[in-house]
Structure 1
Amino acid sequence: MWSYFKFEFKQFFTNKKNLAIYFLLAFATFFYVFKIAPAYNPIEQVEYEEIEARYLTRQEFLDSMEGQNIYRLHPAIIFAIDIFKQINPIDKARLEALDEGDLKKYAEVTRDWYYFTNAITYKSDSFSYNSKYFIKNNDYAEDDAFYAYLEQAARYDTYANANYELSTEIFEQRTALQTFERLLKGLLPVILIVCVLLLAIDIVTKDRRHPSIIKGFPISDWKKLLVKMVVVLLGSLVLFVPLLAGLIIIGLQSGFGNFNLPSPMYAPHLEWRQEGKFEPMTLGMFLGQTLILLLTWFMVIINVVLLCSIIFRNEMMNFAIGLLLIFGEKFYFSRYVGYFWDIQIYPTSYIQVGQIVSKQRNFYYMNDFLDFNLGLQLLLVLAVVIILFMLLTVMNRRYKLIK
């Protein structure tokens, strides 16, 4: 069995298609590191000039209203005076904290700023969120801004009590670990899972090109399948090598961050005005849970390909069924549809692993039940069922690996 493992291992890592996948991923990683990451322009930034401009504009208005009989003013002006008198001291404190270089104080008052601003802006006819939330014709821009403000408030609340050194790079999530966090909440998990599908797609069908060599290994078909599964899984882990190299480069440029940084988790059960709607979670916990879900998805995809290879003996069928599983959520995903459907019972609902762990997907679906533990259980059960069915199938003479 060891000799067969070495044979498969060598075959896998000398396969031109697999080497091309690694090369393309490495190219994409370094393109991101040197072109996209430096140009990252978050909506929520530490902008001294922007804060100062807002503060001075409001203060000028308040000064012009000084001494006037407010009972003769329009109700909208009275409302503006009341709001500006509450928010301007917060912005003034933010400016002073930046002038003093006191980032803990800045974090504390910025937390208050996000909570207060969200309270007066959400579903308001008088105030609006940052215009950058609305530039992509997003029908849910206000809801997304509401979510972002509460998340920022939760982050700054943790920063205010941090026992590590703070920086603007940390506030703007530019450090290496925070960049990885942002990517895991985006398309990176899907990209990696598609790469695993492509790595695994010919792991069985290639044997039919050299049947005499394969028959020379005196082990049963089910053991061969298990070896292939292990080899592809090891090959899948190599996908993280260029990512790790890219994160090291980003770390040298913007700092590495640390695992104690906040990665707030959306809490559907909390009332946002009193409790903030987010629960604390460390970046280390987020990354750990996300990678566990991602590796479980790797196992599912690998075994789906192995099973399909036995039954259909066609790489295009492997590819089509794999893509159907990866992108199956697209057939039913819609904002707030989780309020009406039990989408939490579908394994495909857990493909966006970063958004599952942070529960951002719960917010999108308006569903309280999407959860890391449930997703892990569903995917593990699915993987075990596929493995058992695969082993039972290959024991049938009709589905021998090499006929």
Structure 2
Amino acid sequence: MNRNYLKHEFLITATSRRTIPFVYFITVLLFSYCLIFWPYANTKESFNKKETEDYLDYLEDQQKLWRSIGNTGFVFEWTSINYHKQRGYPVYATNDHNHDLFSGMLKSFENRDFGRMLNLRTLYLQNNPDEYLEDRNLFQMAPFPIKDREHAYHQTMMKYEDYLNKDHPITFGLMYEKTGLQTLQNFLQNYGVYFLLFCVIYFSSDILSRDRKHKAILQGMPLSWYRQLNLKSVSAFLYSMVFIIGVIVVGVLAMTIQFGFGYFDLNVPIMIRQLTFTPEDYSVISLATYLGKTLVVIPLLVILFVRLNIVLSLLFKNEWIVLFISSLLLFSERLYYTRSTKELFGKDISLFPQTYFDFGKIVDGEKNFLLNTETITYAQGILVLLVTYFIIEVVLFIVSLIINKRRFYIVS
């Protein structure tokens, strides 16, 4: 009986007129992301051929100018403030070096020699950290732009040094983080968990309210009310997990076909403390470890929201109200979030479950970095989510006793 009921509920969810259009929409969204948005997305490290050519033309004009005035050595102090940055600076030699460097990167890009290009880019960034630190367009709207630029610089350098130290062939996909595994990593680090959990909320928001259309049949079913709620939860959990696995597999496969699968032994920079904001504050974990520690928490988050939706369904009996309240709880952190928020209602932010809904930022220490704290840890996140799940279970048991099967189906 339990197995048949579970199968029945699973098929109802899968074939629902609410579910099928939503799955089609997510499918279109997924392929748009994998085939259009992410492959052509520009980042700080994206190579712009036109800008590089313009920069090389500029350098050539500058070199002609310096040669015409007979000054190809050091530029000493000038009286005009326009030359402030050139005092005692080997402008000609530096321009000549940069011309060779960027010419090499341009030729490497045109020849698809990304190994040489990565070597040249890494060499340039090692000697020119201001490429990040003085870029006013980078994090210009952030409250701590200098801190964020330093963070981005250290992460970039750690990734590039790792690519160069590994024996893996350097490809476009590897260098620009577009392989299947790197895309999954970026997805989980950038609100991907929120996206998956919203889908879970949508799928499970009507698992009780839809039965009110078949009161006579379901009231007479030889199953206890609490067991019925549990079976519905398991059904929604299984469907949600199948959906999540499908999204991940299809997304990784789509990116793999274009840019390769990637490598599990790549290093993911993690921030272990915030003392000096130098490389000493960073460590690394393997990509396999990062994905494993993040993905293993998703089932806990899924069952947490499924059970929460059961409680809300008993209380409100309307799928749209349930969807709204659960979504509001999911994104509740955004209502009070600032880069300096360390407490909520006088308690440390690490004690609240909504801090850990975007779990991809917990594993690599990014949430600590963004909130300027060190209290948010992986173990603390697991503990808080387990306690939250236990509380929801207790509340559900009590509510199911108050709102029994007869009261749920009869009372409007």
Classify the TM-score, shorter chain: 0.7 to 0.9
Q: How many residues align?
A: 395
After TM superposition, give the deviation of residue 252 of structure 1 in Å. Answer: 0.9
CA distance in 2, matches of 1:261, 1:66: 44
After TM superposition, give the deviation of residue 195 of structure 1 in Å. Answer: 1.3
CA distance in 2, matches of 1:89, 1:371: 43
* One-letter identity of the residue aligned with 1:215: Q
Cα distance, 1:4–1:93 mapped onto 2, change above 3 Å: same
Correspondences of 1:221-236 after superposition (within 5 Å): 221-236=225-240
* One-letter identity of the residue aligned with 2:28: F
Q: Does 1:298 align with 2:299?
A: no
CA contact (8 A) 1:266 1:360 kept: yes
**Secondary structure in 2 aligned to 1:163?**
coil
Give 2:375's aligned residue: 369
Cα distance, 1:90–1:371 mapped onto 2, change above 3 Å: farther
Q: What CA deviation, in whole Å up to 9, does each residue of 1:56-98 have, x standing for no partner?
A: 8399499875445736686632365499859958984993897
CA contact (8 A) 2:143 2:339 kept: no
Relative to the length of structure 2, the TM-score reads: 0.82
CA distance in 2, matches of 1:120, 1:132: 10
Q: Does 1:179 align with 2:216?
A: no
- Structure 1: 5+ residue runs without aligned partners? 123-127
CA contact (8 A) 1:176 1:256 kept: yes
CA distance in 1, matches of 2:29, 2:122: 36
Give 2:34's aligned residue: 33
**Secondary structure in 2 aligned to 1:264?**
strand
Which of 249, 255, 258 is equivalent to 2:254? 249
Give 1:349's aligned residue: 355
**Secondary structure in 1 aligned to 2:222?**
coil
CA contact (8 A) 2:314 2:403 kept: no
After TM superposition, give the deviation of residue 43 of structure 1 in Å. Answer: 2.0
Give 1:197's aligned residue: 201
After TM superposition, give the deviation of residue 160 of structure 1 in Å. Answer: 2.0
Correspondences of 1:6-155 after superposition (within 5 Å): 6-46=7-47, 53=55, 57=59, 60=63, 65-68=71-74, 70=76, 76-78=85-87, 80-81=89-90, 88=97, 92=101, 95=104, 107=118, 110-111=121-122, 113-118=124-129, 122=133, 128-129=134-135, 131=137, 133-134=139-140, 137-138=141-142, 140-155=144-159
CA distance in 1, matches of 2:91, 2:132: 14
Q: Please, which moves more after superposition, 362-371 or 226-235?
A: 362-371
- Structure 2: 5+ residue runs without aligned partners? none
Give 2:272's aligned residue: 267
**Secondary structure in 1 aligned to 2:28?**
helix
After TM superposition, give the deviation of residue 249 of structure 1 in Å. Answer: 2.1
After TM superposition, give the deviation of residue 3 of structure 1 in Å. Answer: 2.2
Equivalent pairs: percent with the same residue? 22
CA distance in 1, matches of 2:34, 2:403: 51
CA distance in 2, matches of 1:86, 1:278: 33
Cα distance, 1:361–1:55 mapped onto 2, change above 3 Å: farther
**Secondary structure in 2 aligned to 1:279?**
strand
Give 2:318's aligned residue: 314
CA distance in 1, matches of 2:181, 2:165: 20
Q: Please, which moves more after superposition, 263-272 or 225-234?
A: 263-272
**Secondary structure in 1 aligned to 2:206?**
coil
**Secondary structure in 1 aligned to 2:223?**
coil
CA contact (8 A) 1:45 1:171 kept: no
CA distance in 1, matches of 2:115, 2:211: 61
* One-letter identity of the residue aligned with 2:322: N
CA contact (8 A) 1:97 1:105 kept: no
CA contact (8 A) 1:176 1:250 kept: yes
CA distance in 2, matches of 1:80, 1:297: 57
**Secondary structure in 1 aligned to 2:226?**
helix
CA distance in 1, matches of 2:321, 2:117: 56
Give 1:206's aligned residue: 210
After TM superposition, give the deviation of residue 366 of structure 1 in Å. Answer: 0.9
CA distance in 1, matches of 2:74, 2:290: 53
**Secondary structure in 2 aligned to 1:334?**
coil
* One-letter identity of the residue aligned with 1:57: L
Give 1:125's aligned residue: none
CA distance in 1, matches of 2:295, 2:334: 22
After TM superposition, give the deviation of residue 278 of structure 1 in Å. Answer: 2.6
Q: What CA deviation, in whole Å up to 9, does each residue of 1:199-231 have, x standing for no partner?
A: 111111222221232234322111111111111
Q: Please, which moves more after superposition, 79-88 or 224-233?
A: 79-88
After TM superposition, give the deviation of residue 198 of structure 1 in Å. Answer: 1.1
CA distance in 1, matches of 2:283, 2:88: 32
**Secondary structure in 1 aligned to 2:278?**
helix
**Secondary structure in 2 aligned to 1:210?**
helix
Give 1:326's aligned residue: 330
CA distance in 2, matches of 1:130, 1:91: 26
CA distance in 2, matches of 1:192, 1:203: 18
* One-letter identity of the residue aligned with 1:272: F
CA distance in 1, matches of 2:100, 2:190: 32
